[in-house]
Each structure stands twice: as C-alpha cells, then as structure tokens.
C-alpha cells in the first residue's frame, strides 16, 4: 500500500540531467507497511486539549494564502514560536518570508503524515518546505532506523505529491543527549538512509549537526538546555547554518 503512495509521484522536476531526480528515486523505493508510515492522529493524553485545535488553526492560516515557506516537524520546530526560545530568531529570518510553522510537540512521522493528508498542504504552493522530523520515533525500541527513514521519506513523498512546485530542504535529525549514544546513532542512520531521496534539485539534504556539537561530540546545555530542544542560541545557530541554502532555494 505504501509503495503506491510513493510511486504515485510523477513530476519530472523539469530536468534533463543524468542524475536521478527525487521522484524517480521515490518510484524505486518500496516502503514496508509499519507504524512510522501509517498516518495517525496524536493520542497522547497531554496533547488532547491542543493538538486538533492547532491543526485546525494551521488549516485556517493556509486558507488565507500568502504562504511562501513552511516548516514541518515536531516540538523542535514548534518551539520556533516560543518567546523564550525561537520567536526572536523566527521574526528575523522567517516571518518576513511568510512562513508557517507546522511543528507539533510530540509528533512522530505518522502524526505528521496524518496532518499533511488532512488539509495542512491544501490550496498553497510555497517556495520551500523545511523538514526535520524523527527524533520522537527513536526513543526505545519501537522503531528501527530503517522505519524512521521510511517515515521521513513518506513525508517528503506526500509534500512532493501535494506541492509539486515546492522545493524541500530536508535536515538531518538533530543530536540529542549530552554524549554520543545509541539513540543518536539511530537518528544518524535514519537521516542518512532518508537522504537518498535528495536529488539536489527539488529535494536538498543538509546535515548541520556539527554546528551544535563540541569537537568531542558533546552537546552543550548552553545550546539545548534539556539536551533536546534548542534555546535562543540554538535557534540562531540553526537559522544561520541553513540561511545560505534557504535563500538559494527561495530564489532571493
């Protein structure tokens, strides 16, 4: 079933290069059916009061039009809106670009897929979608690195299907935890496996994780106080690291 979702994307990306486009790569990927690629509503108890209302608020925002950029993800993206974390940086880099924040705390790949299939991409054609998702799938042994990668690929496929003119900037899952760990390694493996869909034309893959880490691989609480979510310093690092690519892809 998931293979049909992926292979249903037929855009040629407008290139005659011998390098395979992302859409041709999609057609060769046979995603197995599993939880990470099965669209699902968020059901965690602590999300019940706000998750659907946030989804509806995003649908109302995009219905207004004037959307040139979207950011898709989990709490790490969601917290671009928070005064104590990313808002100041957001107002500098993304508010002027008519960006919409589609980050939801606690979301895994399957929750993002549900949202994208249920109205969050309808009626818009932004220039760029920046995607960073997967860290919530990596806790414990519920998902393998391959399954997380499948979820990321399925999200990109959905964006390509619904927004064929929109370029994608896919980011490696950010580092978490003070020191290198099996969870970090799982996320790194998932990111690398998902990166195979990047064609350098419609889908671009960037790994900025070294910007957050010291030379010995440690993650500082001065950048991510809880060793997962960036603070204002962390969001500034993120924005500055991707800015040249964002400007290029938007066509500035």
Distance (Å, rounded) from C-alpha 71 to C-alpha 74?
A: 10
- What pLDDT score does 23 carry? 63
Q: Which residues contact 48 (CB under 8 A, 6 or more apart)?
A: none
Residue 192 has pLDDT above 80, yes or no: yes
Range from 13-27, 32-46, 215-229 carrying the lowest mean pLDDT: 13-27
CATH superfamily of 2-250: SGNH hydrolase (3.40.50.1110)
pTM of the model: 0.90
Residue 11 has pLDDT above 80, yes or no: no
Catalytic site residue from 49, 141, 216, 226? 226
Catalytic site residue from 75, 78, 138, 199? 75
Let me know if 226 is a catalytic residue: yes
Let me know if 23 is a catalytic residue: no
State mean pLDDT over 178-204: 96
48-94 tens-digit pLDDT:
999 999 999 999 999 999 999 999 999 999 999 998 899 999 999 99
Let me know if 55 is a catalytic residue: no
Q: 138 near 186, Cβ under 8 Å?
A: yes
- What pLDDT score does 30 carry? 66
Residue 111 has pLDDT above 90, yes or no: yes
Helix-helix angle 145-162:182-194, to 10 degrees: 40
**Is residue 205 classed as helix, strand or coil in its secondary structure?**
strand
Give the residue among 70, 47, 81 at the shortest CA–CA distance from 158. Answer: 70
Q: So where are the chain's domains?
A: 2-250
Q: Which residues of 109-124 are buried (b: 16+ CB within 10 A; e: fewer)?
A: bbbbbbbbeeebbeeb
Beta bridge partners of 100: 70
Give the residue among 170, 155, 221 at the shortest CA–CA distance from 6. Answer: 155
124-153 tens-digit pLDDT:
999 999 999 999 999 999 999 999 999 999
């Amino acid at each position: 079933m998931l293979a049909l979702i992926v292979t249903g994307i037929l855009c040629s990306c407008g290139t005659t290069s011998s390098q395979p486009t992302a859409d041709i790569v999609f057609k060769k990927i046979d995603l197995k059916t599993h939880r990470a690629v099965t669209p699902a509503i968020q059901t965690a108890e602590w999300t019940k009061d706000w998750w659907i209302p946030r989804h509806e608020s995003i649908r109302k925002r995009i219905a207004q039009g004037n959307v040139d950029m979207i950011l898709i993800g989990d709490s790490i993206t969601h917290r671009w809106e928070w005064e104590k974390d990313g808002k100041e940086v957001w107002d500098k880099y993304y508010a002027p670009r008519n960006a919409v924040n589609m980050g939801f705390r606690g979301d895994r790949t399957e929750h993002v897929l549900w949202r994208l299939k249920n109205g969050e991409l309808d009626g818009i054609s932004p220039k760029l979608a920046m995607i960073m998702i997967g860290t919530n799938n990596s806790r414990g042994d519920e998902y393998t690195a391959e399954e997380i990668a499948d979820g990321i690929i399925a999200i990109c496929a959905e964006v390509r299907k619904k927004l064929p003119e929109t370029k994608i900037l896919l980011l490696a899952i950010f580092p978490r935890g003070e020191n290198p760990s099996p969870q970090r390694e799982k996320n790194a493996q998932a990111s690398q496996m998902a990166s195979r869909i990047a064609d350098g034309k419609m889908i671009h893959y960037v790994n900025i994780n070294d910007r957050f880490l010291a030379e010995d691989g440690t993650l500082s609480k001065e950048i991510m106080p809880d060793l997962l979510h960036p603070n204002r310093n962390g969001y500034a690092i993120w924005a500055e690291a991707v800015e040249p690519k964002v400007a290029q892809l938007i066509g500035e």
